[in-house]
Amino acid sequence: MNPEQVVAQARPRAAPSRLERIESALRQAFPDDAAVVTDVSARHLGHAGFDAQGSHFHIHLQSRRFAGIGALARHRLVYDALGPLLLQEVHSFTLELRPL
| Average pLDDT rounded to a whole number, residues 20-38 | 95
**Cβ neighbours around 36 below 10 Å, total:** 12
- Each residue of 39-94: pLDDT tens digit? 888 776 777 766 666 778 999 999 999 999 999 999 999 999 999 888 888 888 89
3 pLDDT more than 50: no
How far, in Å, CA of 98 to CA of 65, rounded? Answer: 9
46 against 23, higher pLDDT? 23
Architecture of the CATH domain 16-99: 2-Layer Sandwich (3.30)
Domain positions in the chain: 16-99
Which pTM was predicted?
Answer: 0.77
